[in-house]
C-alpha cells in the first residue's frame, strides 16, 4: 500500500510499504477514507521528537471503514464507518476504567523511552514516534487499530465524513481543554492558538457556558474563523501587548481560564529577546520546548484562575515563572486528550447543530500530494487551517 513516511527532518515521502495485518485478537484493520494533518505532527517533522526512525508512517487523525477484525472484537462489524481516537486505550487497565485513556498502562509496547524521560509510561499514539509505541500512522491506505472496541466509534447517520474526521483528535482535544478549565457561567476564557484545536476549544468553552471567549493568534484567516465560526473575540499578538489587552478587556482582573492550544513551538510575540533566547536554546538542544505561551498565560490569568494545557510538550523548558504561578494560586490541568470519554457527547453536539468542525478542512488532497500538503500547512499558506488526505 501507499503511505506517507518520515525519512528525516523535513523529509516526507510517499512510499510503498507492506499492508497491515491482524496481530492480536482485539485488532481491526481500517481502510482509511480521510486522514488529517495536525499541528503536533510538525514537531515530528521538525525533529523535536527524537525517537522517530526513517520509514515511520505518520498521521493520527482519521476516519475509515472496518475491513477486517480479530476474533475478540465484538462491537464492530466489517463495513462500519468509524472514527478512531488518536490516542490508544486498552479499555481494561485502571486508567482506562477511570476514563483516563491517554494514561493507559497497556497500549504502549515500548515503555522504556517514556519511563526514562517521564518516570512512567503513558498511552500509545498512532504515528507519533517510538516513544509512544512505534505504531504506524494513518496517512496510508490501511491502518491496524489495536483494542478496536475501545478506540473505534461508529459515525452516526447524518454526520458527514468532513465533520466526523476531526472527532478523532482536534474536537476532543479542544473539548477536553475547555472541560479541564472547569468553566462556569460568566467566565472569561482566553485561548492561545487559533488552529484546529484552538478553534474547537473556543467553541467548546461557549458550549460550557463561558460568557466571553477570546482567541489569540497572528494569522488573519485564523482570527476571522475564530470570530465567525467559534464566536470569539480576537487579539493579534503581533499588534497588541496581550497582557495589557486582556487586563483592559477584563477590568484589570484577567481571564478566569487560560488555554494553551499551541505547545512546544510557541512564538514570543513582541518580545524579540525572549524569542531569540528560546529559539537559540532549542537549536542548541539546551531546552526542547519553547514555553512563551505558558509564561504569558501565567502572567495574564487572574489570581486563583486555571491554566488548561493541551498544546503538546515533549521535554524541558527554561525560565518558567513558578513564583508567579504559586503566589497567584493558579491551578494547572493538562494532558493528552482522553478522546474516548467524549466521542458520544461530541457526536450529539454535531447532530444537534451545536458544533460543526467541518470548517477546519480547508484543503482536501490526494495522499500522493501529502509532502506538499504538509509544507503548505507548516507555512500556513493559502489560508490553510487543515489539509485532509483521501487515500
Q: Is a pLDDT exceeding 90 seen at residue 44?
A: yes
Closest alpha carbon to 51 in 173, 165, 133: 133
Cβ–Cβ contacts within 10 Å for residue 71, how many? 10
Residue 228 is classified by DSSP as H
Q: What is the pLDDT at residue 270?
A: 60
Q: Quick one: average pLDDT of 363-371?
A: 97
What pLDDT, in 10s, does the model give residues 179-238?
A: 999 999 999 999 999 999 999 999 999 999 999 999 999 999 999 999 999 999 999 999
| Helix, strand, or coil (residue 168) | helix
The three grid cell numbers given for residue 325, joined into one nine-digit string: 504561578
The answer to whether 192 and 259 are in contact (CB under 8 A) is: yes
The answer to whether 377 and 387 are in contact (CB under 8 A) is: yes
Q: What is the pLDDT at residue 138?
A: 98
Neighbouring residues of 70: CB distance < 8 A, sequence distance ≥ 6: 22, 24, 25, 26, 27, 28, 148
Distances (CA, A) of 23 to 109, 140, 363: 13, 18, 34
Closest alpha carbon to 222 in 247, 195, 254: 195
| Helix, strand, or coil (residue 270) | coil
Rounded (5°) CA angle 180-159-201: 20
What pLDDT, in 10s, does the model give residues 343-362?
A: 999 999 999 999 999 999 99
What pLDDT, in 10s, does the model give residues 127-182?
A: 999 999 999 999 999 999 999 999 999 999 999 999 999 999 999 999 999 999 99
The three grid cell numbers given for residue 64, joined into one nine-digit string: 475509515
**Using only C-alpha atoms, what is the Rg of the chain?**
20
Q: What is the pLDDT at residue 362?
A: 98
Neighbouring residues of 352: CB distance < 8 A, sequence distance ≥ 6: none
The answer to whether 254 and 301 are in contact (CB under 8 A) is: yes
Q: What is the pTM of this model?
A: 0.96
Q: What is the pLDDT at residue 86?
A: 98
Q: Assign a CATH topology to domain 174-334.
A: Rossmann fold (3.40.50)
H-run or E-run covering 158: none
What pLDDT, in 10s, does the model give residues 294-309?
A: 999 999 999 999 999 9
Burial call 119-136: b when 16+ CB within 10 Å, e when fewer: eebbbbbbbbbbbbbbbb
Cα–Cα distance between 223 and 379 in angstroms, integer?
A: 16
The answer to whether 331 and 356 are in contact (CB under 8 A) is: no
Q: What's the CATH class of domain 2-169+337-390?
A: alpha beta
Structural domain boundaries of the chain?
A: 2-169+337-390, 174-334
Backbone φ and ψ of 181, nearest 5°: -70, -15
Amino acid at each position: 500500500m501507499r503511505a506517507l513516511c518520515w525519512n528525516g527532518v523535513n523529509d516526507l515521502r510517499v512510499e510503498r510499504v507492506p499492508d497491515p495485518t491482524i496481530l492480536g485478537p482485539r485488532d481491526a484493520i481500517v481502510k482509511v477514507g480521510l486522514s488529517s494533518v495536525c499541528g503536533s505532527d510538525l514537531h515530528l517533522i521538525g525533529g523535536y521528537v527524537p525517537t522517530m526512525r526513517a520509514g515511520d508512517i505518520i498521521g493520527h487523525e482519521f476516519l475509515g471503514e472496518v475491513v477486517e477484525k480479530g476474533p475478540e472484537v465484538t462491537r464492530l462489524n466489517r463495513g462500519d464507518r468509524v472514527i478512531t481516537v488518536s490516542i490508544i486505550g486498552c479499555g481494561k487497565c485502571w486508567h482506562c476504567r477511570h476514563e483516563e485513556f491517554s494514561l493507559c498502562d497497556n497500549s504502549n509496547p515500548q515503555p522504556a523511552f517514556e519511563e526514562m524521560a517521564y518516570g512512567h509510561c503513558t498511552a500509545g499514539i498512532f504515528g507519533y514516534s517510538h516513544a509512544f509505541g512505534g505504531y504506524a500512522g494513518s496517512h496510508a491506505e490501511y491502518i491496524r487499530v489495536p483494542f478496536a472496541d475501545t478506540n473505534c466509534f461508529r459515525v452516526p447517520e447524518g454526520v458527514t465524513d468532513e465533520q466526523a474526521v476531526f472527532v478523532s483528535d482536534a474536537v476532543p482535544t479542544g473539548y477536553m481543554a475547555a472541560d479541564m478549565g472547569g468553566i462556569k457561567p460568566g467566565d472569561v476564557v482566553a485561548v492561545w492558538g487559533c488552529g484546529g484545536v484552538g478553534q474547537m476549544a473556543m467553541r467548546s468553552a461557549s458550549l460550557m457556558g463561558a460568557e466571553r471567549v477570546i482567541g489569540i493568534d497572528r494569522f488573519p484567516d485564523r482570527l476571522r474563523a475564530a470570530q465567525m465560526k467559534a464566536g470569539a473575540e480576537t487579539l493579534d499578538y503581533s499588534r497588541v501587548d496581550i497582557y495589557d489587552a486582556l487586563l483592559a478587556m477584563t477590568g484589570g482582573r484577567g481571564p478566569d481560564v487560560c488555554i494553551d492550544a499551541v505547545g512546544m513551538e510557541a512564538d514570543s510575540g513582541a518580545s524579540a529577546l525572549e524569542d531569540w533566547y528560546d529559539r537559540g536554546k532549542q537549536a542548541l538542544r539546551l531546552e526542547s520546548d519553547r514555553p512563551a505561551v505558558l509564561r504569558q498565560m501565567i502572567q495574564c490569568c487572574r489570581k486563583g484562575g486555571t491554566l488548561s494545557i493541551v498544546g503538546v510538550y515533549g521535554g524541558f523548558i527554561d525560565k518558567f515563572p513558578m513564583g508567579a504561578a504559586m503566589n497567584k494560586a493558579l491551578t494547572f490541568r493538562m494532558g493528552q486528550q482522553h478522546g474516548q470519554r467524549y466521542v458520544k457527547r461530541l457526536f450529539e453536539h454535531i447532530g444537534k447543530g451545536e458544533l460543526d468542525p467541518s470548517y477546519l478542512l480547508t484543503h482536501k488532497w490526494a495522499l500522493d500530494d501529502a509532502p506538499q500538503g504538509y509544507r503548505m500547512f507548516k507555512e500556513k499558506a493559502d489560508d490553510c487551517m487543515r489539509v485532509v488526505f483521501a487515500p
